[in-house]
Amino acid sequence: MKDRAASLFPLVMLLLLAALTFWLNRVIQGDNPRGPQRHDPDYWVERLEVRRFNVEGKLQHTLVADKLLHYPDDDTTIVTTPHITYHQQTPSELSARMAYIGRDGKEVDLIDDVRVIRHGTLGDSPPTVLETKTLKVFPDDEKGRTNDPVVITQGKSIMHGTGLDIDNKSGITVLRGRVTGILHRNRTETP
């Protein structure tokens, strides 16, 4: 009987050690599920205004929105009714119904009712208005692109395209695909 108890002693110690290891693991890791994280916001902001300045301290652009939601599981941000104003010699404005901001903030997807307004360079020239369904914006580079249909108007002139690349710094907009339009030229009558 003594030999049997002596031979069971290592087994009992092994079971006790396994139970202790299980208990320590449970205490350290807690009761966190091992499945995928839920897609719930960790913070939100309502009625926000964010201003970004360049290295010289000059106002670069302003973002105004109704609501901002941040999701920690994929580190994305959703902004409702964003309105971005680029403060330059000729200001530009971007607005949409919704915006998705990626992890590092280098890319912003504007979704639904996207509108870009580039105010006229001359005092009497009308603004250029661009309308599309989606627009991927690169805020630091002030560039954007879309593969959705685009309508650009300036006064009575109107252009349609099936995609576009836009560079706000250079003021160059390239319509892609089948482009159609009507260009209206203002004539000045000379006597």
Q: For each successive 10 residues of the chain (191 residues), what is the average pLDDT?
A: 67 74 74 64 88 88 90 86 86 91 86 89 80 90 90 92 87 87 74 52
Segments in the chain forming alpha helices (H): 2-29
pLDDT of the residue at 114:
94
For the question of whether the overall pTM of this predicted structure is more than 0.85, the answer is: no
Angstrom distance (rounded) from CA 117 to CA 11: 78
pLDDT given for residue 22 in this prediction:
76
Question: What are phi and psi for residue 88, nearest 5 degrees?
Answer: -130, -170
Domain residue spans of the chain? 43-182
Q: pLDDT of 12-21, one tens digit each? A: 777 777 777 7
The architecture of the domain spanning 43-182 is: Sandwich (2.60)
Nearest one of 70, 64, 65, 66 to 43, comparing CA atoms: 70
Give the phi and the psi of residue 178 in degrees, each rounded to 5.
Answer: -80, 115
Q: How far does the chain reach from its first CA to its final CA, in angstroms?
A: 128
> Half-sphere exposure (CA, 13 Å, Cβ side) for 141?
13
Encoded tokens for 183: 């260009």
Across the chain, mean pLDDT equals 83
